[in-house]
Structure 1
Amino acid sequence: MSVNLQKAAFVRSAAGAADFPRDRLPQIAFAGRSNVGKSSVINRLLNRKNFARVGAAPGKTTHINYFLIDEQFYLVDLPGYGYAKVSQAEKARWGKLMEQWFADNTLMTLGIMIVDARHKPTADDCTMAEWFKGSGRPFAVVANKLDKLKKSETEPNLARIRETLELPSSVKVIPFSAEKGDGKQELLNLILEHAGEFI
């Protein structure tokens, strides 16, 4: 499918199920810990400097943000998780919003979970992976910050991510650098392949 990635527009922030777009366009959902570089990955994909705002303080995105790409599909930015300074009430609100979103299996076309390539996934990452696995929808894991690893560390770290998150072999783990662009084409191809099935 042919898509003009430059034609990207912020559509809305959803605070609850009533706000989720249900216009049958494909929805590609991005999730990740608050400081994992989710906005940077989205910006790199779209070749934009600060399209998805990079927050000054992690954990500030408490809504689900929708970006419409070339009027063909949505990039769905799920709120970051696992940030220590967020209150219990805020965490509960995040959990409720996620439950509402994942409960409706007509929404997500493809899930993209972003983890830090340098570190073993956290307990919160494992919880997020369970959300994706439980959805019954296809998803992939993007191991961001590849540029911070030595070449010799890449394979063992990717294997550790797969093992810790207990990923089935059908789930791709894509080494990625939002900084340098490594992995961008592979991720883009995957997104367009899944979005194209619905268009």
Structure 2
Amino acid sequence: MAHQAGFSLPIQSAEFVTSAVAPEGYPAGDQPEVAFAGRSNVGKSSLINCLLGRKKLVRTSRTPGRTQTLNFFRINDRFLFVDLPGYGYAKVPQKIREQWGPMIEKYLTGRKQLTGVVQIMDLRHPPTTDDLLLWNWLKEIGIPALAVLTKADKVPRGKRAKHLRDAVQRLGIPSREPVIFSAVTREGWQELWERLMPWIGYLS
């Protein structure tokens, strides 16, 4: 069970369903899906594992860019998390990077079960050009998006205000909108779940 003081969400089951590169490989059904996007080295897998209270459900890799498919995970037999391939890692062969773009775009624009995208960025650094391209594109096409600024444990609290200000200025959003998160300390765990509740069909 995933829980913290004053909040609980029973995680009764969390299982890998399938990997896909095209719509014919997506899972059947109409359960809501939340996609997770971010740079290859931003800690996407660690964040998802932390949210679900699992250590190794989503494989983490020391090699950025290793995930090259859409990976679907069913939670509580009620909703799905979708781990998208990381972007912005220069050492991934150009041919593979060119394949990722259309694959991700097809999923984001054509998947009716998609209820929102969690875009993960590193609190230690301002959003990159790649971060901004995806963020602005999601806004333009009307897909709900939530900014999560992760690796908060690596930023001293006295310096967080500046890092947060830099991020929201580049993203063009209010300072209260992003979730500050750490997969190490679980900071932001409850807030992120509360923000996801409407997307996955739970009352917040």
Tell me whether the two structures share a fold, i.e. TM-score over 0.5.
yes
Out of 17, 20, 23, the position equivalent to 2:23 is 17
Counterpart pick for 1:130 among 136, 147, 158: 136
| Deviation string, structure 1 residues 28-80 (Cα, Å, up to 9, x no partner) | 11000000000000011011112110012110101000000000000010110
Map 1:21-170 to 2 at 5 A. Answer: 21-104=27-110, 106-167=112-173, 169=174
> What is the TM-score of this pair, normalised by structure 2?
0.89
Of 104-113 and 65-74, the range deviating more from structure 2: 104-113
- CA distance in structure 2 between the partners assigned to 1:30 and 1:116 by the alignment: 14
Q: 2 CA distance for matches of 1:25 and 1:172?
A: 26
Distance 1:197 1:45 in 2: 15
2:120 touches 2:147 (CA, 8 Å); kept in 1?
yes
- Residues 174, 34 of structure 1: CA spacing in aligned structure 2 closer, same or farther, 3 A cutoff? same
How far is the alpha carbon of 1:135 from its aligned partner? 3.5
Deviates further, 101-110 or 58-67: 101-110
Unmatched segments (≥5 aa) in structure 2: 1-7
Take 2:136 and 2:72, find their aligned partners in 1: how far apart are those partners?
Answer: 23
Distance in 1 between residues matched to 2:159 and 2:111, nearest whole Å: 37
Deviation at 1:3, TM superposition (A): 5.0
Which aligned runs of 4 or more in structure 1 are off by greater than 6 angstroms?
none
Give distance in 2, aligned partners of 1:170 and 1:109: 23
Structure 1 regions of 5+ residues with no counterpart? none
Equivalent residues of 1:102, 1:135 under 8 A apart: no
Aligned counterpart, 1:191: 196
Q: CA deviation at 1:165?
A: 2.2
Check conservation: 1:17, 1:97, Cα contact below 8 A: no
Aligned-pair identity in percent equals 40
Q: Quote the Cα distance in structure 1 between the aligned partners of 2:20 and 2:197.
A: 24
User: C-alpha root-mean-square deviation of aligned residues, in Å?
Assistant: 1.9
Distance 1:197 1:24 in 2: 15
CA distance in 2, matches of 1:23, 1:46: 22
Does residue 179 in structure 1 map to residue 184 in structure 2?
A: yes
- Contact 2:164–2:175 (CA under 8 A) maintained in structure 1: no
Please give the per-residue CA displacement for 1:67-126, whole angstroms capped at 9, x wherever unaligned.
000000000101101111011111110011012112215132021000000001111111
SS of 2:64's partner is: coil
Aligned residues: 196
Q: Is the 8 A contact 1:34 1:80 kept in 2?
A: yes
For 1:54, the aligned partner's letter is: T
Q: Is the 8 A contact 2:168 2:175 kept in 1?
A: no
TM-score normalised per structure 1: 0.91
